[in-house]
Structure 1
Amino acid sequence: MTSSNGPSAEATASGRPDFVGRDDLPDRIWTVPNALSVLRLLGVPLFLWLLLGPEADGWAVIVLMISGITDWADGKLARWLDQSSRLGALLDPAADRLYIVCTLVALALRDIAPVWLVALLVGRELVLGVMLLVLRHHGYPPLQVHYLGKAATFLLLYAFPGLLLADGSGWLATAIEPFAWAFTIWGTALYLLAGILYVVQVLGIVRAERAASTVGPVR
């Protein structure tokens, strides 16, 4: 949500790589983007109940579509209204990942999503969880969400409703199936690529940290 104009003097002197982390953002709670992120989080149990309880796929699709719209809107509004915040930087990716993991599990239980897709995307989340622990160990906050990750999330949040509709019968299911799988494959590819870039960033930070500690402070 924010950007840096270059390395700060403090970061350069210390040898630590400079980036804008969550702790650099304003400590605000009552903002429009945060309200949208909370709304998305509240939609997760509703979506799961609709999909696994009464199997009301139509309503479940509507919940997912609303989630995708609010995912796009909260980032735009944060920039337009200058309402970026620490809480928003935490809630936004948390809601994205929770929706994707919960949706995958639900679709797998309904035999709509294949096991390989679930394994790839859930495995990606586990790897990123390890990277967050590495960052925490070295005293860094989570990195900013990459634009590829946001694009992949947007694709997947529209691919999943397509998979639900394609699981039905009739002309709509037949027509939407190739588009649903195209969104799923492209979204998965971008999601994995964003995860790889995140790992590369974390490893780069760790290498820079080790190099700085080996060289020692510049006198």
Structure 2
Amino acid sequence: MADAGADPAVRDAGALTIPNALSVLRLIGIPVFLLLLFLWRNDAWALVVLMLAGFTDWLDGKLARLLDQQSALGALLDPLADRLYMLAIPIALGVRGILPWWLIALLIGREVVLAGTIPLLRSRGLTALPVLYLGKAATFALMYGMPMVLAGTFDNWVGTVMHPLGWAFLLWGTGMYLWTMVLYWYQTILAVRILPRAGR
């Protein structure tokens, strides 16, 4: 998602930190979610896994700042977990018929289009672009919208309440997600125009 980058001015706290442990826990949650959704057919517990993933996504960044435990590994793990969730969850919900494939195509297409910025940034000696708050807000909306849409399939009052809320979060998050794609490409073009090629 190109929504995170390490700040070279920040002290590297190393690999063994609480935020990194939470990111690893979030990564483990992906196969657990898929098993619950498809093999064990337990949507309620699959929903719990997604809710915990969204909470730990917020918590690891908060703790990294509060405990001064920001690290180069964390700068890789956190966006990696976000990317994998943003691929695995929509596809899984699409296979189950909960999300339409046009929406999934937009979300995955955004990732494919942003992948084109990577060689351009590396040609200028950059590994990532600065974090955009709007990108974080979009990820937040999507990470909460998808569990809400899953909850919206429940045949009770929870489903009745969560269905419209989930779609509101999803559509708003998708709009912001696509707009940040435009902003990241704009930043990439500026970097290519202004910065010399790496090694010169």
Matching residue of 1:102: 88
Distance 2:5 2:161 in 1: 43
Deviation at 1:21, TM superposition (A): 5.1
**Percent identity, aligned pairs only?**
51
1:15-164 equivalences under 5 Å are: 22=6, 24=8, 25=10, 26=12, 28-164=14-150
| Residue among 144, 149, 156 paired with 1:170 | 156
Q: Return 5+ residue gaps in structure 2 as ranges.
A: none
Tell me the alpha carbon deviations over residues 154-206 of structure 1, each in whole angstroms, 9 at most, x when there is no partner. 11111111111112323321222111100111111111122221111111100
Q: TM-score, normalised by structure 2?
A: 0.90
Distance change (3 Å), C-alpha of 1:23 and 1:72: closer
Counterpart contact for 2:145–2:170, Cα < 8 Å = yes
Which 4+ runs in 1 deviate beyond 6 A?
Answer: none
Query: Secondary structure of the residue that 1:190 maps to in structure 2?
Result: helix
Larger Rg: 1
- Calculate the aligned-residue CA RMSD, in Å: 1.9
Distance 2:136 2:44 in 1: 25
Deviation at 1:122, TM superposition (A): 0.0
Counterpart contact for 1:112–1:164, Cα < 8 Å = yes
Distance change (3 Å), C-alpha of 1:117 and 1:21: closer
Query: Secondary structure of the residue that 1:82 maps to in structure 2?
Result: coil
Matched AA of 1:180? G
Q: Return 5+ residue gaps in structure 1 as ranges.
A: 1-19
Distance change (3 Å), C-alpha of 1:66 and 1:125: same
Matched AA of 1:178? P
Deviation at 1:71, TM superposition (A): 0.5
Counterpart contact for 2:36–2:43, Cα < 8 Å = yes
Q: TM-score, normalised by structure 1?
A: 0.82
Matched AA of 1:102? A
Matched AA of 2:71? S
